[in-house]
Amino acid sequence: MSPFLRKLGALLGKDAADLAKNPTMVLCVALPVGFALFYRFFLGDMDLGSALRDESATPVVASAVTYVVLSMGLCMSIGMGASMSLVYGIAEEKEKHTLRTLMLANVTANQIVLAKGILALLVTVATEILCFLVSGAPFSLFLPYVGFGILGAIAIILLSLVAGLASRDQMTAGLYSVPILLLALAPIFGSYSSDISNVVRFAPTGGMDALLHMAVNDTLTTAGAMVPLATTVVWIALSALCFSLLYKRLLRDN
């Protein structure tokens, strides 16, 4: 195994252990799953959740319930797992001078950032899977759900890395993480108004949510997916550009 991969594996192990020991980070992972369960049984109390379990239920109602539960779980998984845990995690290490110690120990900034990005993506995917399992949705939606979630998470992870590196401490991280969290959760707010929906569909997770909506309603086509995919790709490109331009400067300033 090459030295690069050994260092990357060690960093992933360290970051995973730090996440597991931090109650705030654990809560960021547990909240989306808890809300998915809550929404499922809350809708069940309204006699709508039965659509998830009863094949004879009205297909429109079943699709609407499935979409609401899955969309909320997906957006919260990305917002909490890929955003807050990443920004707070980096800020905490900067407070404890862990990043500086690692770089003095012949670990490059690229390896540190790559390890954190990979772990954030793995945590997000794991949280999405748990949300799907407790949602009661048809298993035929599993692969599209996880695939769309990965696409939607990439831009948020890149933005969160920039925000984490820009944060001086955890208090500053709390300020910087709010707009990224709101961008991740934007599709949830779009369900309250068509006017809001027309705006948030261009958010980083808006394309992902539109693709999920089409998949749930069995209307996903190549032509229909073009605009949501283009929106997602543009956000990924802009986030990658922002990250590439700022991360070395942020590391040098700190």
pLDDT of residue 169: 80
* Per-residue pLDDT reduced to its tens digit, 83-116: 877 888 888 777 877 777 777 777 777 888 888 8
CA distance 124 to 138: 21
Share of the chain above pLDDT 90, in %: 31
Q: Does the pLDDT at position 67 exceed 90? A: no
pLDDT band at 49 (very low <50, low <70, confident <90, very high): very low
The DSSP 8-state label assigned to residue 243 in this structure reads: H
Q: Is residue 145 within 8 Å of residue 74, measured between CB atoms?
A: yes
The reported pLDDT for the residue numbered 171 is 82
How much is the pLDDT for 30? 87
Least confident of 7-16, 65-74, 97-106, 170-179: 97-106
Better-scored residue on pLDDT, 251 or 195: 195
Averaged pLDDT for residues 29-48: 74
pTM for the complete prediction? 0.87
pLDDT score at 250: 60
Question: What is the SS3 assignment for 126-183?
Answer: HHHHHHHHHHCCCHHHHHHHHHHHHHHHHHHHHHHHHHHHHCCCHHHHHHHHHHHHHH
Neighbours of 29 (CB within 10 A): 20
Q: Show me where the domains of the chain are located.
A: 3-253
Q: How far apart are CA 233 and CA 205, in angstroms?
A: 11
